[in-house]
């Protein structure tokens, strides 16, 4: 199976340049932890930091961020807030994904043994269409008091995401793909998405394919989540289902999300929260952003550094029980980061 995303060529000395978009809320403090952990792990990455002011509608900052990602090929990001309710100002998170054609979002929802959670031993891969559907941002007030919002589903994007999902399932040795939809009501749009995934499924006879209506899917996830293996769905269902599964595993502070297109990749916390209320209090869970950083290292081919950091995270939260409040602990963010760094320093196998 061919690798779906082209990996940027390393700079002299095997170092990679990566764009860092700290975003708002807890984003900047989480990025500080990433930089610290990378320093101790000796990860060969140079960050190019691009700050985007939430209050400014200046297009220049966004353009600069996009240019930087085009040049580096890879970015790590926090959530960029748009502090304007004007319909004219579009979400810059959505703009970045659309502009770079990051058509697939992948969330590998795997339980952390020992971390308090509503469900145990979950291992679900959520593959989400990331650039169209309900996020087409085509809304207008057609006559006074009547607002229309367009959900756009295209054959080409449905096919790309379905093929991506089946290739991924095959590469990862997964057994089943479930398409999530509401084709009983949205017969044309979700119907096209479902039909396309059924057609692509025929090319993968070794992988079982079924489908489920989104509402039943939410109920099944909460009560019997172990029936799911790989799931594919349109954009908004993906956002909701990702949050449901993160909630089952331990909340917003653990998992990372990966956004891929044919040329670029962006790594971020899985539920894409800003965390405004908890910013600056040393209580945010650093794990989701650190896991995003691990996924980024894997993507760049720095697998030894990725493993070193991943093991240190697991040791800290699963075995030492050093955890932030959101996952039932009493430690601060910096306690958790320090414990992770200590494990990195104690590791027997060094990547260099």
Is 79 near ligand ADP (CB under 6 A)? yes
Is 326 near ligand ADP (CB under 6 A)? yes
Q: How far is the CB of 211 from ligand ADP (least distance, A)?
A: 28
Dihedrals φ, ψ of 76, to 5°? -120, 135
CB nearer to ligand ADP: give 81 or 310.
Answer: 81
Q: How far is the CB of 252 from Mg ion (least distance, A)?
A: 11
CB of 256 within 8 A of CB of 267? yes
The option from ligand ADP, Mg ion, none interacting with 288 (CB < 5 to 8 A, set by class) reads ligand ADP
**Count of CB atoms situated within 10 Å of the CB of 101:** 15
Q: How far is the CB of 101 from ligand ADP (least distance, A)?
A: 24
Number of residues that bind ligand ADP (CB under 6 A): 15
Buried b (16+ CB within 10 A) or exposed e, 31-40: bebbebbbeb
Tokens of residue 109, six digits: 């929802």
Pairing of strands 16-21, 45-49: parallel
CB nearer to ligand ADP: give 97 or 302.
Answer: 97
Using alpha carbons only, give the angle 122, 126, 128 rounded to the nearest 5 degrees.
165
Tokens of residue 198, six digits: 């059924």
CB nearer to ligand ADP: give 201 or 327.
Answer: 327
Which span (185-193, 229-237, 273-281, 336-344) binds ligand ADP, by CB under 6 A?
273-281
Is 277 near ligand ADP (CB under 6 A)? yes
Binding test (CB under 6 A) with ligand ADP, winner from 56, 84, 216, 276 = 276
Q: What is the DSSP letter of 317?
A: I
Residues 6+ apart with CB under 8 A from 198: 179, 209, 211
CB nearer to ligand ADP: give 247 or 301.
Answer: 247
Query: What's the rounded Cα separation, in Å, for the pair 133 and 270?
Result: 19
CB nearer to ligand ADP: give 25 or 44.
Answer: 25
Q: How far is the CB of 175 from ligand ADP (least distance, A)?
A: 32
**Count of CB atoms situated within 10 Å of the CB of 147:** 9
Is 288 near ligand ADP (CB under 6 A)? yes
Binding test (CB under 6 A) with ligand ADP, winner from 278, 295, 300, 312 = 278
Q: 166 - beta bridge partners?
A: none
List residues binding ligand ADP (CB under 6 A).
25-26, 79, 252-253, 273-278, 284-285, 288, 326
């Amino acid at each position: 199976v061919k690798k779906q995303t082209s990996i940027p060529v390393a700079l002299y000395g095997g170092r990679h340049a990566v764009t860092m978009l700290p975003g708002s809320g807890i984003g900047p403090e989480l990025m500080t932890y990433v930089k610290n952990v990378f320093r101790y792990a000796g990860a060969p990455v140079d960050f190019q930091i691009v700050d985007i002011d939430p209050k400014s509608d200046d297009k220049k900052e966004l353009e600069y961020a996009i240019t930087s990602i085009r040049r580096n090929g890879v970015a790590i990001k926090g959530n960029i807030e748009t502090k304007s309710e004007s319909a004219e100002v579009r979400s810059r998170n959505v703009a970045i994904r659309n502009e770079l054609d990051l058509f697939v979002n992948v969330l590998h929802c795997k339980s952390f043994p020992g971390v308090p959670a509503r469900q145990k031993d979950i291992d679900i891969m959520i593959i989400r269409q990331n650039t169209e559907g309900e996020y087409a941002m085509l809304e207008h007030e057609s006559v006074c008091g009547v607002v229309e919002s367009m959900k756009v589903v295209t054959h080409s994007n449905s096919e790309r995401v379905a093929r991506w999902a089946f290739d991924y399932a095959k590469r990862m040795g997964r057994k089943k793909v479930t398409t999530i939809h509401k084709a009983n009501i949205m017969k044309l749009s979700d119907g096209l998405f479902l039909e396309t995934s059924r057609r692509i499924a025929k090319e993968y006879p070794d992988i079982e394919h079924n489908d489920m209506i989104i509402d039943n899917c939410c109920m099944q996830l909460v009560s019997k989540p172990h029936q799911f293996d790989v799931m594919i769905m349109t954009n908004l269902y993906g956002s909701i289902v990702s949050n449901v599964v993160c909630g089952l595993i331990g909340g917003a502070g653990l998992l990372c999300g990966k956004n891929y297109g044919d040329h670029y990749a962006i790594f971020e916390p899985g539920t894409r929260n800003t965390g405004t209320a908890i910013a600056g209090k040393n209580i945010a869970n650093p794990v989701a952003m650190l896991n995003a950083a691990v996924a980024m290292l894997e993507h760049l081919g720095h697998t030894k550094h990725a493993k070193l950091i991943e093991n240190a995270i697991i040791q800290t939260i699963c075995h030492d029980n050093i955890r932030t409040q959101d996952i039932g602990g009493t430690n601060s963010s910096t306690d958790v980061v320090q414990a992770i760094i200590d494990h990195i320093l104690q590791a027997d196998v060094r990547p260099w």
